[in-house]
Amino acid sequence: MKKVLVLEDEANIRSFVVINLKRAGYEAVEAETGEEALEQLRKNPDIKVALLDVMLPDIDGFEVCRRIRATDTKIGVIMLTARTQEMDKVTGLMTGADDYVTKPFSPAELTARIDALYRRTGGEAPQTESGEIRQPPFLLNTRNRTLEKSGQRVKLTQVEYSIMKLFMNNPGKALSREEILDAVWGRDYFGEVKIVDVNIRRLRIKIEDEPQNPAYITTVWGYGYKWGCS
Ligand code: CA
């Protein structure tokens, strides 16, 4: 059974989400508070995707996300944000969320996002490929989905890993933001292309020597990005 954590303090929204997840073939593990969500994740290590509401009575959803990411880079995280939280969206993504859904959302939109993230986090796809992509100082291990820079492990989220793999498979090629969005988030993704920029900004902080003056992921103005390592 594909398990999804649903953290939402408002009972009516939570049950709306849970009903729709069940309909889409997921098992929902419910939590009302941030602490309860962290507890449920400890009890259910097979949860592959977590839906986190931002406004909660105890710790907020971003803090929950930070605490999850402190120990788990693999789980997919979707933030549930309100329309007024424009800036919060970006902050949420910077702390390690993979995606966000703005309230009010349709059940179809929400399950499409979860499906896409679930596929990316390797929930069901068998890992058939094996091997390494070596482009000094980087080494991408496609079997255990890890990245090393100069022999040091760089902790990546699944989305960041997918972007790195796309880049390393296309050295020197300018990739449009739409191309990156399609390849990493999937063609059925509903969201905005801005999510690509947010993730790349975060990736640069992790892999570049000088994130403000990137040498590996260079910007192709008005178009997208290019992997400059060979
Ligand atoms: Ca709430």
What is the pLDDT at residue 126? 41
As averages over each run of 10 residues, the pLDDT of the chain (230 residues) reads 94 94 93 97 94 92 91 88 66 75 86 85 50 89 91 93 93 92 83 88 95 94 84
Please give the pLDDT value at position 130. 55
Q: What pLDDT was estimated at residue 125? A: 43
Q: Which whole-number Å values give the CA distances from 42 to 53, 72, 134, 192, in the listed order? A: 19, 11, 35, 32
Taking alpha carbons only, the member of 103, 142, 129, 112 closest to residue 9 is 103
CA of 163 to the centre of ligand 1 (A): 31
Token representation of residue 141: 């291990």
CA 65 to ligand 1 center in whole angstroms: 15
- DSSP per-residue letters across 93-156: HHTT-SEEEEES--HHHHHHHHHHHHHHTTSSS------EEEETTEEEETTTTEEEETTEEE--
User: How many angstroms does the Cα of residue 8 sit away from the middle of ligand 1?
Assistant: 6
In contact, 69 and 157? CB cutoff 8 Å: yes
pLDDT value, residue 93: 65
Token pair in block for residue 169: 């498979």
What pLDDT is recorded for position 120? 76
The pLDDT value recorded for residue 124 is 44
Centre of ligand 1 from the C-alpha of residue 80, in Å? 9
Q: Which residue has the tokens 């399609």?
A: 182
pLDDT at 187: 75
Residue in the block written with tokens 């990739």: 175
What distance in angstroms lies between residue 79's CA and the mean position of ligand 1's atoms?
Answer: 11
What's the pLDDT score for residue 127?
Answer: 41
**pLDDT score recorded for residue 26:** 93
Q: What is the distance in A from the centroid of ligand 1 to the CA of 56?
A: 5
Q: What pLDDT is attached to residue 116?
A: 85
Beta strands 2-7 and 152-154 are unpaired
C-alpha of residue 183 to centroid of ligand 1, in Å:
32
Tell me the CA–centroid distance for residue 158 and ligand 1, in Å: 26
